[in-house]
Amino acid sequence: MAHLGLAIGLNRNRHPDAMNGLSRVEAECRRRTFWCAYTLDAYLSAALGRPRSFHDEDIDAQLPACVEDEELATEQIDPPTTSRGQSIMLAPVAHIK
């Protein structure tokens, strides 16, 4: 899993741009996927006593945005329209940190 993530460049910070064909939603999904794999790699490495597959010096991906899934639009990430409390994404981002 880690090697596939590295091979397709999930660890690299790619900005959404019409020129490279990457929408904001795709960029956010790439970030969330990478950081999930990173966290899983850290836990499994510790539990199994194995070296980590991801090395911090190879990572420049931004942390996921603290927005809800339903707030992701095809062209832009909209801010919350109503005050519903804290975002569910605060927990995964804090866990990554």
List pLDDT tens digits, range 31-81. 999 999 999 999 999 999 999 999 989 899 889 888 887 777 755 565 555
List pLDDT tens digits, range 43-56. 999 999 999 999 98
Query: Structure tokens of 92?
Result: 């995964």
Q: What is the pTM of this model?
A: 0.79
State the DSSP string of 20-81: TTB-HHHHHHHHHHHHHHHHHHHHHHHHHT---SS-GGG--PPPPPS--GGGB-SS-BPPPS
List pLDDT tens digits, range 2-16. 888 888 888 888 877
The structural domains of the chain, with segments of one domain joined by +, span 2-96
Per-residue pLDDT at 9: 87
